[in-house]
Structure 1
Amino acid sequence: MPSFLDVPVSGAYHLVHWIAQTFEPLTGPYSAALAIVLCTVAVRLALLPLSVRAARGAKSRTALLPQLKELSDKHKNNPERLNREVAALQAESGSLFAGCLPLLAQLPFFWVLYSLFSTAVVAGQPNQLLTGTLFGAPLGLHWPLLTSTPVYLGLAVLLAVVAYCSAHWQSRKAENQPDGLVGQLTRVLPYGTLVTAAFIPLAAGLYLLTTTTWAVAERAILQR
């Protein structure tokens, strides 16, 4: 593990371990998994202002779509003028980058969690979180044979359901989505979590499931 990650991983270890110990009398071997879910929810709550900003920006850009179509029809023979008009109109709706802020802001948390459950020694002592399990599967275990650890199959199914809900929501907004490759990618990208889960520890997969479920519910509330 790179040395610059020692401090955040050590801090995350003590926090997650403390939460796990707190709930262990009630949840037993599932205390570490519960701690991951609670930390994920805390991260999403902290990022809620960014999500609200992104949702407002999306609504503003959606409201501009009729005007964009009108500009496209009006200046279809003058690409340079069209680009200037479109750029000016889109500037009114805020930066497109704002919609990516919640996802980008989560990357450090995801990487710390990945490192935390991929390291045998943290802060100079054995990583006790690796003893945590979820339905018998160690949280630090990477994707094994599905027949030996059915919890991975359950995780994959749940991730697929959440991805379907996200893609279905995008389809319902099809009239507001761009045509061609961009529109197709928008509908396919939610399923990328299934591919990611195959290369990360079970603990990180649990984080993915929790945060994507939160994202779907959050989007349904903020962008309705």
Structure 2
Amino acid sequence: MDLSTLPVVNGLLQVGADLLTTLTTALSPVAGGAAAALAVVALTLGVRTVLVPLSVLQVRAERDRRRLAPQLAALRRRHGSDTRRLQEAVQRLYTSERVSPLAGCLPVLAQAPVLSLVYALFTHASIAGAANALLDATLVGIPLGHTLLAVVTSPLWGHAWVVLVLLAVLAVAVETSRRAAARWNPVEAPAPGQPGAGATAALARWAPFVSVVFAAVVPLAATLYVVTSAVWAVGERAVLRRLVR
């Protein structure tokens, strides 16, 4: 079943398409053929601006975890490899200190519907029964509905560098964010002899780069959204960590 045929989903697609079309029209005099791509960037910046209060909560959650780090380390030493008891003890600590472990995920969760909308807008041939004009939009000759695979396996393969540059920017932003988080709120590494220590360390090191893999397999418009959001997050977090108390 195509969910876009549902009245609510179809209505959201129509609103999203109208918004991006309006932004594209407004940006065309200055951006020319890249106006639609710039419209996606503008949409991303607008969403991130609206979500600043959630980012503040995220930074406060980081500060709380930093404050509780000695107690968390003590709990890990006390319970060792007993994962169930450790999780229960950590949950009790968070509850007693009124700290939400999910607060750090709020900006990501709040953006998921918007990113899904952008993805849908550039993967549907028609919206509300009309041809999807957004699929004609391009960036340096690449349709915004094309994925990296579609580009490298088509006559447009020579333009693949555009997507590769975006992925490189995203990788740098992810690594910068990861290192800043490690400095701001260091996590005690598992003891070398502890079961699963190597896997845990590897997961912590490479899990943030899942967004790079995701950006490589979605339409270029969604890649632009992810890259813009990641770059914004790096700057935003650096500012908020100095301002939020």
* TM-score of the alignment, normalized to the shorter chain, above 0.5: yes
- CA offset at residue 203 of structure 1? 0.5
Match of 2:135 in 1: 130
For 2:183, the equivalent position in structure 1 comes to 172
Q: Is 152-161 or 170-179 further displaced after alignment?
A: 170-179
Per-residue deviation, 1:173: 4.4
Equivalences for residues 67-86 of structure 1 within 5 A = 67-70=71-74, 75=78, 86=90
Deviations along 1:81-105, one digit per CA (max 9) or x if unpaired, are: 9776644332214110111111111
Match of 2:205 among 187, 192, 197: 187
Distance across 2 between alignment mates of 1:191 and 1:170: 14
Equivalent runs, 1:4-15 vs 2, <5 Å: 4=6, 5-15=9-19
Indicate the residue corresponding to 1:109 in structure 2. Answer: 114
Letter in 1 for 2:172: V
Aligned partner (choices 20, 25, 28) of residue 24 of structure 1: 28
By how many angstroms is 1:148 displaced?
Answer: 2.4
Shifted more, 214-223 versus 49-58: the winner is 214-223
CA contact (8 A) 1:142 1:199 kept: yes
What residue in structure 2 maps to residue 120 of structure 1?
125
Deviation at 1:49, TM superposition (A): 1.2
What does residue 215 of structure 1 align with? 233
Question: Is 1:38 aligned to 2:24, yes or no?
Answer: no
Corresponding residue pairs, total: 222
Moved more, 139-148 or 126-135: 139-148
Once the two structures are TM-superposed, the CA of residue 139 in structure 1 deviates from its matched residue by 0.8
Are residue 54 (structure 1) and residue 64 (structure 2) matched? no
TM-superposed deviation, 1:175: 3.3
Q: Which amino acid aligns with 2:219?
A: P
Is 1:170–1:186's contact at 8 Å kept on the other side of the alignment?
no
Match of 1:203 in 2: 221
Structure 1: unaligned runs, 5 residues or longer: none
Deviations 1:17-75 (A, max 9, x none): 001001111111111011101111111111111111121011011111123334555x5
SS state of the match for residue 96, structure 1?
coil
Cα distance per residue 1:94-123 (max 9 Å; x no partner): 110111111111111111100001112122
TM-score (norm 2): 0.80
- Correspondence for 1:90: 94
Contact 2:73 2:188 in 1 (8 A): no
Structure-2 change in CA distance of 1:25 and 1:191 (3 Å): same
Q: C-alpha separation between the residues in 2 aligned to 1:72 and 1:198?
A: 37
SS of 2:158's equivalent in the other structure is coil
Tell me the percent identity: 37
Q: For 2:99, what is the secondary structure of its paired residue?
A: coil
In structure 1, what is the Cα distance between the partners aligned to 2:87 and 2:44? 41
Q: Which of 158, 165, 168 is the aligned partner of 1:148? A: 158
SS in 1 for 2:124: coil
